[in-house]
Amino acid sequence: MIGRLVGRLASKATDHVILDVGGVGYLVQIPLSTFYELPEAESPASLWIHTHVREDALALYGFLTERERSLFLMLIDVAGIGPRVALTVLSGIPPTDLVEALRGSDVRRLMAVPGVGKKTAERMVLELAEKASKFAGEPSAVRPAAVATEDVVSALVNLGYRKGDAERAVDGIGRAGAPKDFGDYLKLALKKLTGG
């Protein structure tokens, strides 16, 4: 199993990267919390990896910190939550807010993430409230990257939000004084969409 990769960031998108390690390009799925922190393409980078093996596929999921990977592993332990939904949860709610939502039994906040219904959110709270306590108080720094507003809408659609809802969220933020970079814009749009 692959646990960590260190190499050159060949390409970077909001949901995946290609990490070149010794001439081999690894396609690694990532949450937005990791995307915000990664350097620009062609820069050195390292990711903590979860190797997910199914009978028909082998997938790599990457995280900038061990904390993110631990939260991901905690999420996929819940029945009905696979790696894709776990990434969507980590992309829709910043790690610190996720921990607080779980500890505070905030089912409504969890349901605001695409792909998480009421039963799944309730199951998450039931199974993870106590486990999430070990993450309380840990810092989660974010350094955003610069990009245009249509990219923010595209990123939200890729996360599972309807295009109309994503456009309304982005437009609403723009009228209130748009942030100057992609990361801030996307975080505000996610907060608006998830009611955070």
pLDDT digit string, tens, across residues 31-74 = 988 998 899 989 999 999 999 988 888 999 999 988 889 999 99
Phi, psi of 25 (to 5 degrees): -95, 115
Average pLDDT over residues 133-141: 58
- Which domains are seen in the chain, by residue range? 4-63 (2.40.50.140), 78-135 (1.10.150.20), 149-194 (1.10.8)
In this predicted model, what pLDDT tens digit does every residue of 3-19 receive, in sequence order? 899 999 999 998 999 99
Task: Say which residue, 1 or 72, is predicted with more confidence.
Answer: 72
Mean pLDDT calculated for residue range 28-33: 92
Per the rule left: phi > 0, alpha: psi between -120 and 50, beta: everything else, 111 is: alpha
Q: What is the structure's pLDDT at 116?
A: 87
Selected residue with higher pLDDT from 23 and 164: 23
DSSP string, 15-36: SEEEEEETTEEEEEE--HHHHH
The pLDDT of residue 179 is above 70: no
The mean pLDDT of 115-132, rounded to a whole number, is 88
Q: What is the mean pLDDT of residues 156-173?
A: 80
DSSP state string for 182-194? HHHHHHHHHHHHH
Q: What is the pTM of this model?
A: 0.68
Residue 176 has pLDDT above 70, yes or no: no
* Separation between Cα atoms, residue 47 and residue 40, nearest integer Å: 14
∠ CA 85-46-185, rounded to 5°: 55
Q: What percent of the chain has pLDDT over 70?
A: 88
